[in-house]
Amino acid sequence: MTKVIKNGTIVTADRTWKADVLIRAGQIMAIGQNLQGDEEFDASGCYVMPGGIDPHTHLEMPFMGTYSSDDFESGTRAALAGGTTMVVDFCLPAPQQSLLEALQMWDNKTAKAACDFSFHMAITWWGKQVFEEMAQVVDKGIPSFKHFMAYKGALMVDDDELYASFQRCAALGALPLVHAENGDVVAALSQKLLEAGNNGPEAHAYSRPPEVEGEATNRAIMIADMAGVPLYVVHVSCEQSHEAIRRARQKGMRVYGEPLIQHLTLDESEYFNADWDHAARRVMSPPFRNRQHQGSLWAGLQAGSLQVVATDHCAFTTDQKRYGVGDFTKIPNGTGGLEDRMPVLWTKGVNTGRLTMNEFVAASSTNIAKILNMYPKKGAIVEGADADIVVWDPKRSKVISASRQQSVIDYNVFEGMEVTGLPRFVFSRGELVVEESNMKTRPGHGRFVAREANPAP
């Protein structure tokens, strides 16, 4: 039983050409002219691209006794609806919890995933047990470890622990990730704002200025440098952080930066909306920045100093957001984006001339697969690769609206934005899962993707 995508133009990270794609058994079997298959899909006028990969999601993430509302079922459905065929989520052990036990818990959530997925493991505490279990986590196909420099009193680790963990990553051939904000200063600024009576969502932005993010990025880079390990900085939102990354790269360091589609296209004025709900729905960390920061992020994608675009999808309903009425520090942090990342990046990136189509593929898929060591199984249109494919119709357009979205939450931060460039077909390991607005996803289809560590040094 084979499928063939006919008459399209293949667009990969490094070239563009007209060819058909033959799929069998979930993989790309052939690429060439006039291929035949049992089932044909017409890609006329479309671009045939590697399915998107979102390297940064939080599905069904525990939070104050409840969970972020999109779970692996609705979250991966949203992903597929927008042309994203794989997500990488974060396993977050509780303090003193075994990494392996946490991993089991997270794995349990994925039973209804509709697309493939992988995990990053978070290092939320430090000790001999963590040190040792890191090797087992790598053996299970998870050679990437996340570190929070913010969320003091909860997930945050200090410089000591960062350095110890980064060294351990170096020894294991694993990649450390950081959420870079100075947690001490964020906590102090938040306290000060609350004491001064600033308890609304706009105070969230005040409590996390770009300088605070830039500082932490710079610090993480130094620690990675001392440990002799590459570094991946999640949700780079501002010039200060980007500048630190550029400076590191310019001395030859391997540092990667991940802007979010939100930071590329939305700005801080959202927090000044008079409607508490409107503003609170946009509360995430780092917060949206001003237009100069957006310009910096786009230029980074153009210059190659930033490499990938993610969502940090962590969806809370308006009801959940309202936990923070009267105290912005209690507003659950996170926004959606999984369904919108690809169309918004195409619309604001490719249609404006900022990015070439090849750069779009690189930033939304291929670079991620390379950095996370799963290329070309994922992120590629080559023979033998998983048939995670999006057939992209550059003419299809829609107005983004919560009323029509796959995510279970009741709003969308991109509400009202017109996007041009949408999937005609989406394939997940060869299965047709989306046909224009028609969702054909199957809960449970998604599988865990094990990734290799780098060779031991």
What is the binding site for Zn ion (CB under 5 A)? 179, 312
Q: Which is nearer to Zn ion, 270 or 312 (CB)?
A: 312
Stretch that binds its own copies, among 115-123, 196-204, 218-226, 390-398 (CB under 8 A): 218-226
Following CA atoms 269, 274, 277, 278 in sequence, which dihedral angle do they give, to the nearest 10 degrees?
-30
- Helical pair 291-303 and 239-249, crossing angle rounded to 10 deg: 30
Is there binding between residue 139 and its own copies (CB under 8 A)? no
Is there binding between residue 53 and its own copies (CB under 8 A)? no
| Three-class SS state of 227 | helix
Contact (CB, 8 A) for 451 and 122: no
As measured in angstroms, the least distance from the Cβ of 372 to its own copies is 14
* Interaction partner, residue 262 (its own copies, Zn ion, none; CB < 5-8 Å by kind): none
As measured in angstroms, the least distance from the Cβ of 17 to its own copies is 8
CA distances 336 to 6, 126, 426, 448, Å, are: 33, 31, 20, 22
As measured in angstroms, the least distance from the Cβ of 238 to its own copies is 12
- Tell me whether residue 21 is exposed, middle or buried, using C-beta atoms within 10 angstroms of its C-beta: 0 to 12, 13 to 18, 19 or more: buried
Angle (CA) 166-88-234 rounded to 5° is: 50
Cis check: omega of the bond before 376, within 30 degrees of 0: yes
Per-residue binder mask for its own copies (CB under 8 A), 347-386, x = binder: -------x-----------x---x----xx------x---
Strands 9-11 and 16-18: antiparallel
The count of residues in the chain is 457
Stretch that binds its own copies, among 10-18, 65-73, 259-267, 316-324 (CB under 8 A): 10-18
- Number of chain residues interacting with its own copies (CB under 8 A): 49
CA distances 312 to 218, 377, 402, 439, Å, are: 21, 23, 18, 23
Q: Which of 212, 236, 260, 372 binds its own copies (CB under 8 A)?
A: 212
* Interaction partner, residue 250 (its own copies, Zn ion, none; CB < 5-8 Å by kind): its own copies
Q: Taken in order 346, 351, 355, 356, is the CA torsion positive or negative?
A: positive
- d(CA 281, CA 414) in angstroms, rounded, equals 11
Is there binding between residue 304 and its own copies (CB under 8 A)? yes
Is there binding between residue 305 and its own copies (CB under 8 A)? yes
Q: Which is nearer to Zn ion, 64 or 456 (CB)?
A: 64
Stretch that binds its own copies, among 68-76, 137-145, 182-190, 264-272 (CB under 8 A): 182-190
Q: Which is nearer to its own copies, 3 or 370 (CB)?
A: 370
Residue nearest to Zn ion (CB): 179
Contact (CB, 8 A) for 52 and 365: yes
* Interaction partner, residue 312 (Zn ion, its own copies, none; CB < 5-8 Å by kind): Zn ion
Is there binding between residue 189 and its own copies (CB under 8 A)? yes
Is there binding between residue 215 and its own copies (CB under 8 A)? yes
Is there binding between residue 250 and its own copies (CB under 8 A)? yes
As measured in angstroms, the least distance from the Cβ of 56 to Zn ion is 6
Longest CA span, the chain = 69
DSSP notation for 304-368: TSS---B--B----HHHHGGGTT-GGGSPP-B--TTTHHHHHIIIIITTTSS-HHHHHIIIIIHH
Q: Which is nearer to its own copies, 276 or 298 (CB)?
A: 298
Angle (CA) 17-20-22 rounded to 5° is: 135
* Interaction partner, residue 179 (its own copies, Zn ion, none; CB < 5-8 Å by kind): Zn ion
Residues that bind its own copies (CB under 8 A): 13-15, 31-32, 158-160, 163-164, 182, 184-185, 187-189, 209, 211-212, 214-215, 218-219, 222-223, 225-226, 243, 246-247, 249-252, 254, 292, 298-300, 302-305, 354, 366, 370, 375-376, 383
